Amino acid sequence: MVQIKPFSAMLFDLDGTLVDTAPDLAFALNLLLEQQGKQSLAYELIRPVASHGSPALLALAFGIDKEHPDFPALQKRFIQIYQDNIDRESALFDGMEAVLQSLESADIPWGIVTNKPAFLTEPLVEKLSLKQRAHCIVSADTTPYSKPHPAPMLYACDKINIPSSECIYIGDAERDIQAGRNTQMQTVAALYGYVGANDDVASWQADYTINHPLDLLQWI
């Protein structure tokens, strides 16, 4: 068993860490491609990009960035499709419900810190019956900054009234680990999430790595 320092709260990234949202993001992206008269993409190509938001997904599908004149309209349509299908298949990762129940049984508060905007975060956690269970939900626009900036992490700590040094943060992207490190949290890289083949996870310098949500039970 890997030893971990004592902690008082556990915070999670949302997409690719707590909830498997890639199927619905992929559905929305492929429907948009179809509406634009283009071929759909294989799920295996979309999944590793799912944590990185609509700009990365549109770059993958259409080869454009935010400066492209077609970007605003495509982004608006993509977000609308996704919003209309936000809980079509999205669900907690396998084993995550057991983790949350164990935290709750041990009276360890848990929360969410995500770069997903609130207008998408709130309905998703509501539909998954997580809103009343989480001690804090921090979205991309809750503070003026998003991860890896420390502001959302510190806001979460303030909401649960626990110092950042007593929190552990789990995420599946480099910015998640940077955000945790920027606030002196212990960090865990979720290798079961949307980690790409070219991601050098070792360079993220997470304190720990896990291959499955149930790996967290050893520390609760």
Q: Report, as residue numbers or ranges, the catalytic residues.
A: 13
Residue 162 tokens, joined: 């626990």
Sheet arrangement for strand 186-190? 136-138, 110-113, 9-12, 167-171, 186-190, 208-210
- The C-alpha atoms of residue 196 and residue 58 are separated, in whole angstroms, by 17
Q: Is 22 helix (H, G, I), strand (E, B) or coil?
A: helix
Q: Which residues contact 187 (CB under 8 A, 6 or more apart)?
A: 168, 169, 170, 171, 176, 177, 180, 181, 206, 207, 208
